[in-house]
Structures are given as structure tokens and as C-alpha cells.
Amino acid sequence: MLPTSHLKTALLLSMTASLSGCFDSSTQSTEPAESTQHLSVQTYSLHQSDHYQVQREYVGTIKASQQSRLGFEFPGKVSAILVDVGDKVAKDAPLIRLDTQLLETEAKQLHAQRNEIKAQLQLVDANLKRQRSLKSKGFSAEAEMDALTSEKAVLQANTVRLNASIQANSLKQNKSTIKAPYAGIVSQRHVSLGDVVNAGAPTLTLLAQDNKEAFVGIPTAQLANISQLKQPQIRIADNTYAVKLLNPGAQVDLNSRSVGLRYLLPDSAQVIDGQLAYLNYQESMSESGYWIPNTALTDGIRGVWNVFVITDDELVERRSVQVLFADSQNAYVQGAISENERIIKNGLHRIVPGQKVTPISSGE
């Protein structure tokens, strides 16, 4: 049996050999080689412009060139309504009528009075003829002749007055029926059958059927430019019409602070009074900058917009830009960018400044 000291020595040598074997196997592993493949990105080349176009639309409404609130010139009771809302009427077509029974009775009285005066004139003429015959024989007095002559003049004056009254009565009967002053469409009815209306009270609202107009409000600053448009266009619903400016604007509306312009629509325009109308206007802004896709923009701190520029070493740099105008697809910017530089077009969430990338395409 081995002594205790020899046993400890043998165990120590065995453990040393085992540890040595472990260290030899670990030193045989090698580290993986560094990857040389970089992220591929789409780029967009910058080209400077000295201006950009802004498409603007100013809203207005469609109105008839004529809009009349038709009423009677004297009071009366409505006896007939010949049209209703939405009806199209021709010029001089009857629309609404008053009860004329009182006027017809008055006309009969006036004619009777005129016939009475006519009979009295015949009697006076007969008496004058008789007096002239007696005067030729020396039996007539001058006073009698003068009285008959005066009476005849009074009767003649009364005849003139009655003729005027009969004419006025006939005119009232004619005006008891409102007729369309122009071809149009009835837009409103303000009375019902049997209503007693006052003089001048509106009964119907008539809109002219032809020569529809668009009333558009624009800012005062744009008045000179828009008034000089050679081919103005107005959009109504899904249709766009070439229009003609009727007036250049006279005053500023106190509520909207805009200047109202009137445009004549073509006869072919199928529009309804009150529809919204949009005046299309393309404004040119003299500012140098660059058009870029909206996808090339990323927001920075404090509201600043950034783009990622690729350097000649294909490294990513962050540049600050100012957005002057943007639509649904592109933005017009200026800032720390230059002509022919390449910016990353999309996928900015994968990019960080200083990263090395590989451009795979170029958009113009």
C-alpha cells in the first residue's frame, strides 16, 4: 500500500494532465471572418430648380344670372297657383293669379258711368243745336249758350277721367296675373292658395335658366394674377369648365375678407344653383430648391426635416432641409444639400448616420 504522500502526488499529476488537454482543445477554435456585405439602398439624384408650381383652388358657389322674387303691385287674394317648385317655365308664361272679381265689378261701374256721360253729352249737343237755331232767329240768349257750352266741357272732361279709370282697371286685371319675365325655373314658393298678399310681397322665386355664373372669393393679394388668367377654369363636382371673367372684383367682403369674382359658365354646363365651384389656379413661386420624394424625408429634433446623403465613400450623412411645399408624393426643399448629390430614397428606418451602404439604383 502506497504512503499517503505518494498518493497525493499521483492525483495531482493526473489533474494537471486533464487540464492541459482541455486548454489544448480550446485553442484550436478560430474567430469568424468579418463580413464585407453592406445594406443596399435606393438613391435619388438632386437637381436644382429656380421655382416651383403650387396648385391652388378657391371655393365659390353657382348662382343664376337673374334671381327674381316675384310679387304683385297691389294687394289681393291668391286665386290660382299655376306652377310649383322645380317647374321650368318659358318667358311670359303665367305663374300665379289674384282674384279679380272686385276689379271686374268696378269695370262694369266705370263703363256704366261712361255711358251715362255719353247720354248727357248727346242731350247737351241737342240743346246747343236748338239754341244756335233760335239764335239765328234772334230768340236765344247768350247766357243759355254759355251754360250749355260749359256743361259740355265738363262732361267731356269726365269722359276722359272715366276712360283713364277704365284703362287703369284693365291694367290691374292684367297685372293680377304674374308672368315669367324670362325663361327659368321656380326655386321657391312663398304663398298658398287663398292667401291675401300685400303689395310687393314675394310670391315666387324665379331663377334664370341660362347664363349660369360662378361667384368665387379670392385673397386680395391674388387679385391681379387671377384677373389676368387667359384661360380660367372652374371645377364643379367631377367636371371642369372653361369660364369667362365677367368682372374683376369691386370690394372686399367684410366677413370673409376676400374679393368676389363673377365667372360666366358655358351653356353646356349642367349645374344647379348653390353648388360649390372651385377656381383652379397654378401659382409660380420663385424659390430655388430641389424636388425630392416624400419618402426621402425623416423628421428630426425640434421640427427639423432631414435627408440622408450618400458621400463619395458611400457613407451616410444626415442633412437638415426646409420644406417649402409638399403634395401627396413629392416635396420641394432647400437646405444643406447640393446639385447632383445622392440621397436615400426610402427605407430610412434602417439607416443611421455613418453607416456604409451600397447604392443599387438611382432615381431622377
Kindly give the residue spans of alpha helices, DSSP state H, lying in the chain.
4-26, 101-136, 142-175, 223-227
CATH classification at residue 296:
2.40.420.20
Q: Which of 285, 316, 350 is the last residue of a domain?
A: 285
Q: Give the Cα separation of 234 and 238 in Å (integer).
A: 11
Q: Are residues 90 and 133 in the same domain?
A: no
Model pLDDT, residue 24: 44
Q: Give the Cα separation of 300 and 333 in Å (integer).
A: 15
Residue 317 lies in a domain: yes
Q: Are residues 91 and 131 in the same domain?
A: no
Band (pLDDT 50/70/90 cuts) for residue 30 is very low
Residue 14 lies in a domain: no
Residue 237 lies in a domain: yes
Q: Are residues 109 and 76 in the same domain?
A: no
- Among residues 99, 92, 95, 73, the alpha carbon closest in space to that of 204 is found at 95
Mean pLDDT of 201-216: 90
Q: Of 20-24, 210-214, 241-245, 265-269, which gets the smallest average pLDDT?
A: 20-24
Contact 172, 72 (CB under 8 A): no
Model pLDDT, residue 22: 44
Residue 12 lies in a domain: no
Three-state DSSP state, 19? helix
Q: Which of 254, 285, 316 is the last residue of a domain?
A: 285
Q: Are residues 295 and 317 in the same domain?
A: yes
Given a cut of 80, whether residue 240 has pLDDT beyond it is yes
DSSP 172: H
Q: Of 23-37, 159-173, 282-296, which gets the smallest average pLDDT?
A: 23-37
Residue 263: strand pairing partners? 214, 245
DSSP 65: S
Q: Are residues 131 and 150 in the same domain?
A: yes
Given a cut of 80, whether residue 33 has pLDDT beyond it is no
Q: Are residues 230 and 254 in the same domain?
A: yes
Q: Are residues 249 and 310 in the same domain?
A: no
Evaluate the CA torsion angle 101, 107, 112, 113 in order and state its sign. positive
Contact 184, 66 (CB under 8 A): yes
Share of the chain above pLDDT 70, in %: 87
Which residues form the domain of 317?
Answer: 40-51+287-361
> 12-17 long-range contacts, Cβ below 8 Å, gap at least 24?
none
CA 230 to chain centre: 20
289-304 pLDDT, tens digit per residue, is: 999 999 999 988 877 8
Contact 231, 244 (CB under 8 A): no
Model pLDDT, residue 89: 93
**Which phi and psi angles does 33 have, rounded to 5°?**
-70, 145
Q: Give the Cα separation of 68 and 207 in Å (integer).
A: 7
Cβ neighbours of residue 153 closer than 8 Å, sequence gap 6 or more? none
Residue 160 lies in a domain: yes
Contact 59, 299 (CB under 8 A): no
- Among residues 84, 98, 236, 91, the alpha carbon closest in space to that of 173 is found at 98
Cβ neighbours of residue 86 closer than 8 Å, sequence gap 6 or more? 185, 186
Q: How many domains does the chain contain in total?
A: 4
Residue 2 lies in a domain: no
Q: Are residues 221 and 329 in the same domain?
A: no
Q: Are residues 200 and 224 in the same domain?
A: no
CATH classification at residue 192:
2.40.50.100
339-360 pLDDT, tens digit per residue, is: 989 999 998 888 889 899 888 8
Q: Which residue has the cell 272715366?
A: 162
Q: Please state the pTM of the whole predicted model.
A: 0.60
Q: Are residues 236 and 345 in the same domain?
A: no
Q: Give the Cα separation of 174 and 168 in Å (integer).
A: 10
Q: Of 66-75, 248-257, 289-298, 327-336, which gets the smallest average pLDDT?
A: 248-257
* The three grid cell numbers given for residue 247, joined into one nine-digit string: 368682372
Q: Are residues 189 and 136 in the same domain?
A: no
Q: Give the Cα separation of 95 and 88 in Å (integer).
A: 11
Model pLDDT, residue 228: 84
Mean pLDDT of the chain: 84
- Among residues 265, 248, 250, the alpha carbon closest in space to that of 214 is found at 265
Band (pLDDT 50/70/90 cuts) for residue 101 is very high
Residue 193 lies in a domain: yes
Residue 19 lies in a domain: no
Given a cut of 80, whether residue 249 has pLDDT beyond it is no
252-265 pLDDT, tens digit per residue, is: 888 888 888 999 99
Given a cut of 90, whether residue 16 has pLDDT beyond it is no
| Residue predicted with more confidence, 225 or 324 | 324
Given a cut of 70, whether residue 92 has pLDDT beyond it is yes
Q: Which of 228, 256, 285 is the last residue of a domain?
A: 285
Q: Are residues 323 and 337 in the same domain?
A: yes
